[in-house]
Structure 1
């Protein structure tokens, strides 16, 4: 049975703040292109991390499917970016990203934080690696879900002819699978989830501050 982990600490970054910033981003074709290109890079990194950390004879269909879907999301965001600005670069060069270093740092530091938390626990190496994968995915999917939903509402309001509803649906499916596996595998699922959410919130707040600074410097 999945334990109730819906009780979250009050977020340091409100949905209203996220809405306001994404609205500003979408108002500029250049910023919007770079935003989408950065999302593409993050999805690509997610897919690569899955392939790197999860391998060997115990590799499951779920993990293979998740990695392939993250890669497909990366390609889709890249396609949307080029729809917004067809003449732009197809690469992930620094100038084609929106606060790219900070975005990647948020992802990497979250990954490291979760991994370190299991460092002293007497758990088989494969199980530990799998739990880290599940928790990082859960945290990223929770954050992506809240941001993508706000972003999609803005896209609908602006009638830009693009949508991320399909990605939101798949992310929700991933999150459900992560919760189901974690509930079955980790007796500390509930307490550990709350601990990791607090860490993720702090990392996201730092990234959001950097993103807001870059957006308004451009504007």
Structure 2
């Protein structure tokens, strides 16, 4: 798993619920295409956020590498989407996404929530920005650990012919780097992590409920 066992969050959406919904998504080429296209969009947004928030003379190799890997993940998920549905769109139009607005909202609100929590901290602007980047990345990678691994297991079980094992391995590396940096930089690392996880869990639960509703509505229409 991407999480360290001693810091693993207690998700309010169970692994069984995630497994059940992803199994239903994978069973439909249309839903599966939209799911992969949405993951591609989220990875692209992640890369763009890194480039936007982390600039200037203090930019490190780690940040540049992370941004490039997120962009590569976005391209890879798009490639997988088109493998599932070769006639699918090359774009991120609304109808090509699975609960796209809610997925993006989850990411944006998490980013804003973490950024706002540092508003009253007496820290240099660059430090605040870097800490926000580290924490948001950590939270996203922890969630990816729960979702991507379940998803990859389903791909194997169903013999779909695609895999996200390479992405999981790189996300594990990202999380390890975030934890290492945060433990050195933030004396409040443990308490702040618990606080931010609670916020992430609430946001993800809302997104998951919307995702489940959209998949259910799609199933009813068939």
Global fold match (TM > 0.5): yes
Give the match for residue 174 of structure 1.
174
1:10 deviates by: 3.5
CA distance in structure 1 between the aligned counterparts of 2:63 and 2:115, rounded to whole angstroms: 18
- 1:30-49 paired onto structure 2 within 5 Å: 30-49=30-49
Verify the 8 A CA contact 1:5 1:193 in the aligned structure 2.
Answer: no
- 1:107-122 paired onto structure 2 within 5 Å: 107-122=107-122
CA distance in structure 2 between the aligned counterparts of 1:123 and 1:18, rounded to whole angstroms: 39
Give the match for residue 200 of structure 1.
200
Give the match for residue 157 of structure 1.
157
Q: What per-residue deviation string (whole Å, max 9, x for no partner) do you get for residues 32-91 of structure 1?
A: 000000000000000000000000000000000000000000000000000000001000
Give the match for residue 188 of structure 1.
188
1:12 deviates by: 1.3
Verify the 8 A CA contact 1:8 1:194 in the aligned structure 2.
Answer: no
Give the match for residue 75 of structure 1.
75
Verify the 8 A CA contact 1:32 1:81 in the aligned structure 2.
Answer: yes
TM-score normalized by the length of structure 1:
0.97
Give the match for residue 136 of structure 1.
136
Verify the 8 A CA contact 1:5 1:194 in the aligned structure 2.
Answer: no
Q: Structure 1 pair 122/7, CA: closer, same or farther in 2 (3 Å)?
A: same
CA distance in structure 2 between the aligned counterparts of 1:8 and 1:33, rounded to whole angstroms: 30
Q: What count of residue pairs does the alignment treat as equivalent?
A: 216
Give the match for residue 147 of structure 1.
147
1:145 deviates by: 1.3
After superposition, the CA RMSD in angstroms is: 1.1
CA distance in structure 1 between the aligned counterparts of 2:6 and 2:202, rounded to whole angstroms: 18
Task: Verify: 1:15 aligned to 2:25, yes or no.
Answer: no
CA distance in structure 2 between the aligned counterparts of 1:74 and 1:7, rounded to whole angstroms: 28
Q: Which runs of 5+ in 2 are unaligned?
A: none
Q: What per-residue deviation string (whole Å, max 9, x for no partner) do you get for residues 136-167 of structure 1?
A: 00000000111000000000000111000000
List structure 1 runs of 4+ shifted beyond 6 angstroms.
none
CA distance in structure 2 between the aligned counterparts of 1:8 and 1:66, rounded to whole angstroms: 22
Q: Which runs of 5+ in 1 are unaligned?
A: none
Q: Structure 1 pair 58/9, CA: closer, same or farther in 2 (3 Å)?
A: closer
CA distance in structure 1 between the aligned counterparts of 2:147 and 2:8, rounded to whole angstroms: 16
CA distance in structure 2 between the aligned counterparts of 1:192 and 1:120, rounded to whole angstroms: 14
Q: Structure 1 pair 9/134, CA: closer, same or farther in 2 (3 Å)?
A: closer
Verify the 8 A CA contact 1:5 1:190 in the aligned structure 2.
Answer: no
